[in-house]
Structure 1
């Protein structure tokens, strides 16, 4: 057995154990938070861990299909309120970026570009690309962003405070032929979206295909637990494996900034969610998850875990990344992108 598979099986074993413990103690979103915390702690302790991209992609397809099964007439009707929510989200994301950059600079005395990119509420691949181009401290940015993602994964369920039976199917499960059609369609659409560089393409593709099938009542039923539950455990494990091989000194130096950024992000996101809930009457729980600046995959899965509207949540997180693509360059030091 090759080293990569030994590390993968180790990560999955620790993730499964973390999920079991979290479920037994009644932790919110146990099959996400349990593996994320357990695998992260193992990585901090020096255990070598891995999760192949192929396994990650399979989990994204499965979770995406599962999210689409939650589409209801009520969620379709709520689309009319989305523009208001998007506008407030844009303001909240911009505020998190600005105040977060000031906080990072004040705490660590890092230069402007490093502070801005470390404070970005998401869009890690884009942020790391800009870090390389602008000669920012890529290591510091990576560690802060990884710690922020882990913290949000653990904090958001506590703030919302429900949904311990994450991923448990309720109602009639999908027929085998319907499930096969949805998975095949999810893979095809996901690959197209990957070509278009859409974030979390396979997950979004699965959700769209499944949502269309359920909205038209062509593919009734929910995802079977034997598929859904491992999908959540893999996603939680993936979050923890981000810390594989990270230097402990780098983790300690970035911990303070990541803690402040997480608190700032949760606070401003909660304010934005409350404003939209007041203006539109949309459920506050759904809005809190939609505004929390975690990973697209993680927050969309969190919506399923906490009985929120996954389509609404996923749309907001994709919008957040698109907004950051436009806004971040405005705060990067002028001329930095063209430096030799």
Structure 2
């Protein structure tokens, strides 16, 4: 007997169900970052196998908002003493964006045969939805730009999760480092909920990129830096957020031909390899000049999505405030600068 839901609702329920099953399987076999990796793997396989699954933008937005509150709770008053080192790291980040955009753009032109517009907006490391909109507005191939960014996130999550686990010795036992294991008081719950709501709607009103995460993170960080509250969301939400975010990564490939997805993943593997190699170099530079650990700097400069890289930082116990703030700044840089830079480059031929 069929469930009394529309096909779209069934596809969304199936997507989350497969994500939860995948996360559980990866957890049982002790793979790194199991809940997000498992959800991402199972839903990606389902998507390219033509199993009807669908994204849930509103559900993802809810958990991304909760993730923003979690990330804000990683900020402490003591971090104010390190802002001068963060400023140096942000300068390196700006150079990283310029270098990697140029290198990956050349890669997509020469090895993938993309046109100049599509290659440029596929190469800009971040702001998936913004780059798709801007690229299509300038005449780029929207499908290729979307696939390039979606596959880049997929490959980056796999490489970094396994790399930190097997090469860096990081284990997910510290996944609750930025979450609360004890019950939250009623007053602290109201503070955190208020930060989430105010941050969400305030950032949306200001049209900030990634407003569902950035706004709540800024509001929550303000509360924690001011010492108003030291509480954090429950630890179980970390695992649930990983399942939701991982499931949405896989669901991005639903409806696309298998051949197109596989080619996109192959091309994204090469592009991500370039981005990660450059990130290693910049991570070493930050380690030497800004007194930030290489493990934190590499994750801060890595070419994944804001929510995905922040979840990896939370799960592995890496400095989540440092990592997430750099990805927020990177997105702002790209969203503001990429279209302007493209106009200038095109005028100069």
1:16 aligns with 2:15: no
* TM-score where L is the length of structure 1: 0.91
Counterpart position of 2:108:
104
Counterpart position of 2:91:
87
Q: Distance in 1 between matches of 2:269 and 2:251?
A: 19
Question: Against the structure 1 CA distance between its residues 42 and 327, is the aligned structure 2 distance closer, same or farther, given a 3 Å change threshold?
Answer: same
Q: Distance in 2 between matches of 1:317 and 1:95?
A: 16
Cα deviation code 1:139-198 (max 9, x no counterpart): 111111111111111112223222424643465342243123311221122111112222
Question: Against the structure 1 CA distance between its residues 207 and 330, is the aligned structure 2 distance closer, same or farther, given a 3 Å change threshold?
Answer: closer
Determine which of 205, 209, 215 is the counterpart of 1:195. Answer: 205
Counterpart position of 2:337:
326
Instruction: Structure 2: state its 5+ residue gaps.
Output: none
Of 129-138 and 143-152, deviating more is 129-138
Q: Distance in 2 between matches of 1:128 and 1:335?
A: 21
Secondary structure of 2:217's match? helix
Question: Against the structure 1 CA distance between its residues 175 and 156, is the aligned structure 2 distance closer, same or farther, given a 3 Å change threshold?
Answer: same
* Residues 76-155 of structure 1 mapped to structure 2, 5 A cutoff: 76-155=80-159
Shift of residue 305, structure 1, vs aligned partner: 1.3
Question: Against the structure 1 CA distance between its residues 267 and 282, is the aligned structure 2 distance closer, same or farther, given a 3 Å change threshold?
Answer: same
* TM-score where L is the length of structure 2: 0.89
Instruction: Structure 1: state its 5+ residue gaps.
Output: none
Determine which of 266, 277, 287 is the counterpart of 1:277. Answer: 287
Question: Against the structure 1 CA distance between its residues 166 and 261, is the aligned structure 2 distance closer, same or farther, given a 3 Å change threshold?
Answer: farther
Q: Distance in 1 between matches of 2:208 and 2:331?
A: 10
Q: CA RMSD in A?
A: 2.1
- Contact in 2 for aligned 1:167/1:232 (Cα 8 Å): no
Counterpart position of 1:69:
73
1:164 aligns with 2:168: no
Cα deviation code 1:282-334 (max 9, x no counterpart): 12221111111211121122221121222222221121122223145424662
Q: Distance in 1 between matches of 2:122 and 2:79?
A: 34
Q: Distance in 2 between matches of 1:67 and 1:334?
A: 38
Q: Distance in 2 between matches of 1:76 and 1:18?
A: 40
Cα deviation code 1:13-45 (max 9, x no counterpart): 111111112222222222222211221111111
Shift of residue 73, structure 1, vs aligned partner: 4.3
- Contact in 2 for aligned 1:35/1:233 (Cα 8 Å): yes
- Contact in 2 for aligned 1:174/1:219 (Cα 8 Å): no
Counterpart position of 1:219:
229
Q: Distance in 2 between matches of 1:163 and 1:191?
A: 36
Secondary structure of 1:224's match? coil
Shift of residue 121, structure 1, vs aligned partner: 0.9
- Contact in 2 for aligned 1:94/1:327 (Cα 8 Å): no
Shift of residue 10, structure 1, vs aligned partner: 0.6
Q: Distance in 1 between matches of 2:107 and 2:130?
A: 21
Shift of residue 76, structure 1, vs aligned partner: 3.4
Determine which of 301, 309, 315 is the counterpart of 1:305. Answer: 315
Shift of residue 107, structure 1, vs aligned partner: 0.8
Counterpart position of 2:254:
244
Q: Distance in 1 between matches of 2:325 and 2:52?
A: 35
Q: Distance in 1 between matches of 2:171 and 2:229?
A: 25
Shift of residue 215, structure 1, vs aligned partner: 3.0
Shift of residue 97, structure 1, vs aligned partner: 0.7
- Contact in 1 for aligned 2:275/2:303 (Cα 8 Å): yes
Of 299-308 and 80-89, deviating more is 299-308
Q: Distance in 2 between matches of 1:31 and 1:253?
A: 26
- Contact in 2 for aligned 1:274/1:284 (Cα 8 Å): yes
Shift of residue 222, structure 1, vs aligned partner: 3.0
Counterpart position of 1:265:
275
Q: Distance in 2 between matches of 1:321 and 1:10?
A: 31
Question: Against the structure 1 CA distance between its residues 217 and 163, is the aligned structure 2 distance closer, same or farther, given a 3 Å change threshold?
Answer: farther
Q: Which runs of 4+ in 1 moved over 4 A?
A: none
